[in-house]
Amino acid sequence: MTTTPAALDVVGIGNAIVDVLSQSDDAFLESQGLTKGTMALIDEQQAEALYGAMGPGVETSGGSVANTMAAIAQLGGSAGFIGRVRNDQLGSIFAHDLRATGCLFDTPAVQSGPSTARCMILVTPDAQRTMNTFLGASVHLDPNDIDLSMVRRAKVLYLEGYLWDAEEAKRAFVAAASEVKASGGEVALSLSDPFCVDRHRDSFRDLVENHVDILFANEDEAASLCDSDIASATETLCGQVGEAVITRGENGAFVGSGDIRHECAAQPFGGVEDTTGAGDLFAAGYLFGRTNGRDPLASGLIASLAAGEVISHIGARPQADVVAMIAAEKL
């Protein structure tokens, strides 16, 4: 007798990137021609050279949506991830690390083409982070990489705007969105970056208006998408999608659904050490809440708790017991 696979709360599609975090100093940055505190895209040759020159580091699975899926699993939800890696050392590290969080990851590693994406993060004693990213295999995701059987199991399919630069990835997104809708699920999208929205405003608008149920954006991204001020953009998006979730940094977040409006205060957990994973963990908390019986307001408060915890330390994974924090707040 065959059994039907259990539903998954959220399945995410995004860049599969290995984060390589290493302690460094100003002299090393200068020797490599790096400008402290900046983020830069580099090619494969530069990535291999920098990776070889770096000191010992901590290597973890990363990328915006992968971080969100890992956090959902750590919160006690069920999550799956679809993203492209190469059959190399970093590809194996990515797969092992993500699966260790409890997230399902079965995308077969490709046998040829660019190597696995990596983001090399050099942290100097003054806590500045200098990031160099090689996008590698991740941005070559195509429809053949999409496990439609996993997509059909999703209550929510979560898509990453960063991948919208690639035509093949765009086709994969639309195919997956259509599949999950046909199976009774919903589509969530993170706009990811205002510059990405600027480059693809018309096609993003089409995606949002025709496929997206839950939209995540910060104020800059929302204003860019609507090509207006944030107040007008907020009203527009509340009328276009089922739930518009707009983050406002230290001012918390806004959740709008039709004529209903919620303000979710920021939930500071301590000092602000590193804001890199704030948006990823906010999305994790919100999607975990919405797929586990919470209403938009409670989900927004869970999201704020998760984001508040992750910015209190370096790294994009929770270190405190966020599940206990949620229970203590009776969320």
pLDDT tens readout for residues 159-169 = 998 888 888 88
Angle between helices 278-290 and 296-310 (to 10 degrees): 150
For 7, other C-beta atoms within 10 Å of its C-beta total 14
Cβ neighbors of 155 (< 8 A, separation 6 or more) are: 7, 8, 9, 10, 185, 186, 291
Exposed, middle or buried by CB within 10 Å (0-12, 13-18, 19+), for 144? exposed
The domain over range 8-15+63-110+137-328 is classified in CATH as 3.40.50.1100 = no
Q: What's the Rg (C-alpha) of the chain? A: 19
Beta pairing partners, 59: 20
At residue 253, what are phi and psi to the nearest 5 degrees?
Answer: -150, 160
Mean pLDDT on 125-149: 91
For residue 264, what pLDDT is reported? 87
Instruction: Quote the pTM value.
Output: 0.92
Whether the predicted pLDDT of 275 surpasses 80: no
Q: What is the mean pLDDT of residues 65-87?
A: 97
CA distance 135 to 78: 27
Q: In angstroms, rounded to a whole number, what is the distance separating the alpha carbons of residues 324 and 291?
A: 18
Instruction: Give me the percent of the chain exceeding a pLDDT of 90.
Output: 66
Q: Are 57 and 20 in contact (CB under 8 A)?
A: yes
Beta strand 253-257 with 243-247 is antiparallel
The residue length of the chain stands at 331
Domain extents for the chain? 8-15+63-110+137-328
* Per-residue DSSP letter, 308: H
Instruction: Tell me the mean pLDDT in the region 228-252.
Output: 91
Rounded Cα distance, 163 and 305, in Å: 27
Alpha helices in the chain (DSSP H): 26-31, 44-53, 64-74, 89-100, 148-152, 167-182, 194-199, 201-211, 219-226, 230-240, 278-290, 296-310, 322-328
Is residue 46 pLDDT above 70, yes or no? yes
Share of the chain above pLDDT 70, in %: 99
Among 277, 329, 292, which Cα is nearest to 71's? 277
Q: Which two tokens stand for residue 97?
A: 């690390």
Tell me how far CA of residue 295 lies from CA of 82, 119, 187, 210, 231, in angstroms.
27, 35, 17, 23, 24
Indicate the burial class of 292 (C-beta count within 10 angstroms; 0-12, 13-18, 19 or more).
Answer: middle
Which residue in this structure is represented by tokens 């949002």?
208
| pLDDT at residue 126, as a whole number | 82
The distance from CA 317 to its chain's CA centroid, rounded to whole angstroms, is: 12
Mean pLDDT lowest among 79-93, 99-113, 131-145, 305-319: 305-319
- pLDDT score, position 4: 62
